Amino acid sequence: MPIRSRTNWRVQGPLLAFLLVSLALAFVVFRYFLLTFAVAGSVALMLSRVHGALSRRLGGRDGLAAALLALAVMLVILVPLVMYGVLIGQQAMAFLDWLRPHLEPQEWDRFWRETLPARSPAVARFLRQAGWQAPPLSASIARVTGAANQYFQVVLAGTAAVLLDLLIFLMMLFFLLRDGEALRESLRGISPFTRGQETELIEHLAGTVKASMQAMIVVPLIQGVVAFIGFSAFGVPSPLLWAVMVIFAALIPILGSPLAWIPAALYLLVNGHVAKAIGMAAYGVFVISMVDNIVKPMILKGAAQIHTMLGFLSIMGGLLAFGPKGLIVGPVVLSLVLSAYRIYRYDILRWREEEGLEMPPPETTATAEVEHEKSLAAP
């Protein structure tokens, strides 16, 4: 081996080992925040142009513009959750007002032996055939109280974790908006991509994130309209209130609209409207909930040029893999894969096919084939 090669390896070997160890330690420290960083980075990328325009209006104060945008994002997240919590609280108070008179021992016994069979004979018959007898009042109260206590503890712990995660997300979003351009320039020095490839990658990512955000706003509104039609058709009282609850429930990932239409179906069932309850449940499963699975991929296809099937799979896979954050991370991962595919096909393979010929710069090669990649999005 030449002396120079041995010398280079003696220098580069320890440097490479140091780099790998540093990256491994960094992963151990920051792994809990990588998913939050991915979401914050995606949102910051989508808002970068808005931040630039707002900063110019504020006289070049990037920090103030970033703080205002972070505050706006926080309001967009918290306001629907608070309003939904208020609606749930109102319904819970109304339920307690209805339940309080029935907690007297005589009323409790009368409810199970007379009221329930009269209002919903099918439910009473099912409970009788299953061998389920009316429980003593004290045992029922103890059981409900214990379950409510456990549920409250779980909700309290989950709420604290969500608020902490939201705080970290907002901090990341602020700094990424304020220092995003400087971070991009520092990464550009080690990036293997050309300027054209970087531009195409960033634009496709921004379009994908924007489409995901649009879907998160548009889909609940459509579900609310569809739910209002169903609630009115099946005789659910106050259909507009229930439809508003569907809109806010649809903003909650994973759980979504069933948080609203399942209680509506149960209300019909308890009041003896068995056929309407079954119809309401079927309408919720096959119509209200299916809006989410149909409209979101269509929005991704139209705004980000992503095939409908791939968009659907990226959303569902993201939810299963990453939870609520997967609504954004899933499509972003798909966008990265599609961008890598285009770069490989239109740049790397083109160079190999044109061996010995002078090729145009890669930044023109990738962008010249943008129209062709749109055809890939067609189903």
What confidence tens digit (pLDDT) does each residue in 262-307 have? 988 988 887 778 889 999 999 999 999 888 888 888 888 877 778 8
Which is higher by pLDDT, 361 or 205? 205
Angle between helices 195-233 and 274-283 (to 10 degrees): 170
Q: Which long-range contacts (CB under 8 A, 24 or more apart) does 266-273 make?
A: 267/236, 268/234, 268/235, 268/236, 269/120, 269/123, 270/119, 270/120, 270/123, 271/119, 271/120, 272/118, 272/119, 272/120, 272/121, 273/235
Instruction: Please say if the pLDDT value at position 369 is more than 60.
Output: no
Query: In this structure, is residue 262 part of a structural domain?
Result: yes
In a domain, 370, yes or no: yes
Tens digits of residue pLDDT in 216-259: 888 889 999 999 999 999 998 888 888 888 888 887 766 788 88
Q: What is the pLDDT of residue 70?
A: 94
Judge whether 217 lies within some domain.
yes
Q: How far apart are CA 370 and CA 373, in angstroms?
A: 5
Within-domain flag for 50:
no
Q: Quick one: average pLDDT of 186-212?
A: 80
Show the beta-strand stretches assigned E in the chain: none
pLDDT top residue among 379 and 225: 225
What pLDDT score was predicted for residue 234?
A: 93
Give mean pLDDT, residues 162-179. 91
Tally of structural domains, the chain? 1
Most trustworthy range by pLDDT among 102-111, 162-171, 204-213, 268-277: 162-171
Would 301 be classed as within a structural domain? yes
Handedness of CA 286, 291, 295, 296 (dihedral sign): negative
CB atoms near residue 185 (< 10 Å): 9
Q: What is the longest distance spanned by two Cα atoms in the chain?
A: 98
Indicate whether 1 belongs to any domain: no
pLDDT of residue 189: 74
The two structure tokens encoding residue 93: 């108070």
Residue 133 in any domain: the answer is no
Radius of gyration of the chain (CA): 28
Structural domain boundaries enclosing 207: 193-379
Assess contact for 318 and 299: CB atoms under 8 A: no
Please report whether residue 95 resides in a domain. no
**Residue 326 pLDDT > 90:** no
Q: How far apart are CA 94 and CA 116, in angstroms?
A: 19
